[in-house]
Amino acid sequence: MGKIVGQAQYRDILLGVGLLWATLALVMWPEQAMGAMRDGIGLCGNVILPSLFPFFVLSSLVVELGMSRYLGRLLEPVMAPLFRVNGNCASALALGFVGGYPVGARTAIQIYENGQCSRTEAERMLAFCNNSGPAFILGVVGAGVFGNGGLGLLLYLAHLLASLAVGILFRFYRPGEGPQTRRSQGPQFQTASFSKAFTRSVVGSLRSALNICAFILFFTVFLRILAYGGILSSLAQGLSALLAPLGMDQTWSERLLTGLVEVSSGVSSLTDGSLSGRLSMAAFMLGWAGVSVHCQVLAFLGDSGLSVHTYVVGKILHGAFSAALAAMLFRLIPFSSPASVYLAEQTEAIAQLDFHQAITLSATAAWGMWLVFLSLTVYVVQKNSGKGRRDVL
């Protein structure tokens, strides 16, 4: 008992010292803190809100209207043998690949809370469905950081393959529990309640997007204060001593620490050094996603009862697999070819989008995904209706 109390007191002392230091830092360096806040607001206004909000609305509608259940019947033969989850989970995987963090995780949690998958299936999905979107990797990272759309495509390919590898690996999580095959009774596509579902989706999506922006603002200021106060460099110096056998000096260690906390700040710091090393570290950061994204997912988990263990382990594996795949693909694919130059020209403009262009592109992509989901749903409904008529005859 004394040991437990001692550990709790030690934790409280560290927390108190940290909060006191943070308060003093904000008082001592208000201009730096306000500058970081302005940068964070710009990031949220120009990137986060226009890219995530339409996909949040789309994912909520897919779950609220029961479309994922019809899609589940169509995709069950793929999802069950590969990942040991039922087909309802396919929407979380698809939206996670297109919408970016944390659309996939949010959709998986919603599917579980609506009773469309078991707890084990939801925890398996959380391990690999929370992925970065193509706009961020191709535009911000590929064209913006590396100045080459082909390298952005390489990172996105490594990101997707690593995610699928983690999903296949986690099919062995709780091996005694297979995919849920129970079908709910009655009509599942609630067209009559579309207005209510749409209202709930928009309001809930805005709340979720604002929660994400709050975390981004906090960690942007937090990292800026750590860097300005010299704490980040001190931590990097200690980490570089541990990672010296891997050839990482203090500069690389500081970049790694930044990416471990906030992915966009981490990849933006990869402006010089060996290209293969920068690619591998960027791939790791994108797979890991950063503590900022993890806090966003934890906010969605709330009282769902889902374990965060599989999510964290999955993101660690995703980062490691992505780094290895990026290094391998970089050695296999030549990037001086005309095709790579053409890809760079096509994706360079993505990094220069302003708010209105970004929201238009994101909304168009979201509505395109919505039409795909709707078309597949109508196809399955018509197929099942035809089968029912043949059975009656």
Q: What is the mean pLDDT of the chain?
A: 78
Within a domain: residue 181? no
Within a domain: residue 38? no
- Place 358 in a pLDDT band, splitting at 50, 70 and 90: low
Residue 11, pLDDT > 60, answer: yes
Residue 393 has a pLDDT of: 41
Within a domain: residue 32? no
Within a domain: residue 245? yes
Q: What is the pLDDT of residues 179-235, one digit of tens each?
A: 766 544 444 555 447 778 888 888 888 888 888 888 888 888 888 888 887 888 888
Within a domain: residue 54? yes
Domain range spanning residue 130?
46-175+191-392
Within a domain: residue 6? no
User: What DSSP line would sit under 241-259, residue for residue?
Assistant: HHSGGGT--HHHHHHHHHH
Percentage of the chain modeled with pLDDT above 90: 19
Residue 179 has a pLDDT of: 74
Which amino acid is present at 297? V
Residue 284 has a pLDDT of: 96
**Number of structural domains, the chain?**
1
| Cβ burial, residue 13 (10 Å; 0-12/13-18/19+) | exposed
Residue 381 has a pLDDT of: 56
Within a domain: residue 50? yes
- Place 6 in a pLDDT band, splitting at 50, 70 and 90: low
Q: What is the pLDDT of residues 62-115, one digit of tens each?
A: 777 777 677 767 778 888 888 999 888 888 888 888 777 888 898 899 889 888
Within a domain: residue 185? no
Residue 353 has a pLDDT of: 53
Residue 125 has a pLDDT of: 94
**Residues 71/377, Cβ–Cβ less than 8 Å:** yes
